[in-house]
Structure 1
């Protein structure tokens, strides 16, 4: 173990993966307020009332040179190389791994933050649906998170009427076969699909959209994610969407002693393009950076896509084959095969954290 001060901000897919690997060779300080890992790609299951799968961080870092500090980073001074915590402590570093990820984006929609349940409040949403008088729940967002959430809620709570509301098409980025399967499953589960319906307001009675009112007793918000603002506030070079711009080795282009990984980073890979946010890209960044910090590679980060997958309730799913640049192939696997493939991928994520 070396005495080099490596600090990792964030214990998500990227940060925790980097910390456990770097911790084989260095002493690492991991800054995160939570005691347990948040398996974010399973939040739709939590919202539906299924048991949570949240291993303790202490177990995940056991046997590594990783010291977990339960605190939240409030400020960053790249010039002085210090991280300021909500405990009042100023923590120095030689190398910083910035992996604070992303959070629900409200995009200034009036009433959304006040009246909608974001993914971060999945357990509260579950309790509301379990104890409330059944009515209508509207899921805002036609992306993967929204689709999985709508399907899971409809299956788990047949007494509730579920609606999915999208500004564009629900699952519109999939191949024709993939999108067709998603729509058929939603129809089978009784989910009302509202497409081309951008939400312009949320209130206790439901949604206002560009195509009129959509009544709802409960609103779940799965529309978009924003990167944590601390990178921009600290003066790191950021893109228009707030993600920190990095070079081919995942170093901040403005502060090379800071590595940025996961949803917090705008990463452009030759031949692949600018990577989208998500576990599928975050964990490979963490693995790569762990090797870099361990001195096991000096090659630039490389990444190619392979599949996209969805769970559609407990018994159905979609595995969509894709090209390396994230464009769709025509081949899909659906039904139990798709569901089992998604379950295997999700289960492998936790194993790969170490």
Structure 2
């Protein structure tokens, strides 16, 4: 290594990435050639969150060792949880007491299922161990493999639909209900919604629309899977004084994903109130996490080079929902996520969805080997 190369390595800015989900991991991989990157996440593996319903059905291993995904990148991975963020000092504190200095930071702590607090007027608390979420899919799998009974999935969005279908297909000895305050798959046109209803019925799922559920204690079932809503993990950001979007609780960012109150901090994934000119405000999900992770990295790289960061350029193409392993719906959408008339259903849709899901881990593996190629992909500005 030449002296010039040694100096350039030493002079690289310090970037701390909080969170090793879709957005954080892709941002870290793209930044690795340009910065001294520290990735903070307590897990030693990456979890394909879009496959958590498959974990509940014991279908496949949905985790990948981070050691392999980070190999030869120079990224330092700390298997600890971030407990404090101090923008004034530009430090992150971890649960083992380490204080990490950064020049720039990527906040990518994602989101979690928003489970309601027990109602004070409930006649009795929910039985211990009866409530599950996508995050506790492994425990749900063990519960359902251990016998038979009734399970109620609360939430008629795509996450709840996928969970109900997967459970019904895998555990025929269990009775499965899907409870929704409004129409199931409300954002889909009639043709797609009709197919979803028929597929769920064929699997034995009893759909109950117009059923508002105040909390799990109100559901008569042996197991309750809460899939009603998501909440961003922005507690550390709020405590640090970052401005949050009042409507969503996500970090308010500009077009380049910089915090509007602390421009040395970038937010990506579900924690960011990201938006693009074509799509408007972005919804939570893998479809937006990877592009925002890439955009946050591109903005930081532009800043390192002394250039002005460009805006996020993102448009929606499809919404995908699996209905067990042999059926699904691919709903084509406009750039702003509104539905088109065209859709794909049945086995072709299931295969299409599987390839989309597989493409996420392929993208991360490519980013390890050739991070400079990622911006050439559609949506990965």
Give 1:201 shift: 2.9
Match of 2:284 in 1: 277
Give 1:175 shift: 1.3
Match of 2:356 in 1: 345
- Contact preservation (8 Å) 1:97, 1:259: yes
TM-score (norm 1): 0.94
- Contact preservation (8 Å) 1:106, 1:113: no
Alpha-carbon distance in 2 for matches of 1:98, 1:202: 31
Gap regions ≥5 residues in structure 1: 209-213
Q: Does 2:207 correspond to 1:193?
A: yes
Structure with more of its chain in helix, by fraction:
2
- Contact preservation (8 Å) 1:109, 1:199: no
Match of 2:109 in 1: 100
Q: Does 2:169 correspond to 1:160?
A: no
- Contact preservation (8 Å) 1:26, 1:65: no
Q: Does 2:18 correspond to 1:9?
A: yes
Give 1:112 shift: 7.1
Q: Indicate the structure (1 or 2) with the bigger Cα radius of gyration.
A: 2
Gap regions ≥5 residues in structure 2: 1-8, 120-124, 368-381
Query: Which deviates more, 268-277 or 289-298?
Result: 289-298
Q: How does 1:9-28 map to 2 (within 5 A)?
A: 9-28=18-37
TM-score (norm 2): 0.87
Structure with more of its chain in strand, by fraction:
1
* Distance verdict in 2 for CA 1:54–1:85, change over 3 Å: same
Match of 2:135 in 1: 120
Specify the SS of the correspondent of 1:164: strand
Match of 2:224 in 1: 219
Alpha-carbon distance in 1 for matches of 2:239, 2:257: 19
Alpha-carbon distance in 1 for matches of 2:16, 2:65: 20
Counting matched residue pairs gives 344
Alpha-carbon distance in 1 for matches of 2:333, 2:57: 29
Match of 1:234 in 2: 240
Q: Does 2:331 correspond to 1:328?
A: no
Match of 2:54 in 1: 45
Q: Does 2:102 correspond to 1:88?
A: no
- Contact preservation (8 Å) 1:252, 1:260: yes
Give 1:107 shift: 3.6
Give 1:109 shift: 5.0
Query: Which deviates more, 281-290 or 91-100?
Result: 281-290
Give 1:202 shift: 2.2
Give 1:53 shift: 2.1
- Contact preservation (8 Å) 1:112, 1:201: no
Match of 1:246 in 2: 253
Alpha-carbon distance in 2 for matches of 1:53, 1:88: 31
Alpha-carbon distance in 1 for matches of 2:164, 2:177: 7
- Contact preservation (8 Å) 2:278, 2:313: no
Give 1:268 shift: 2.2
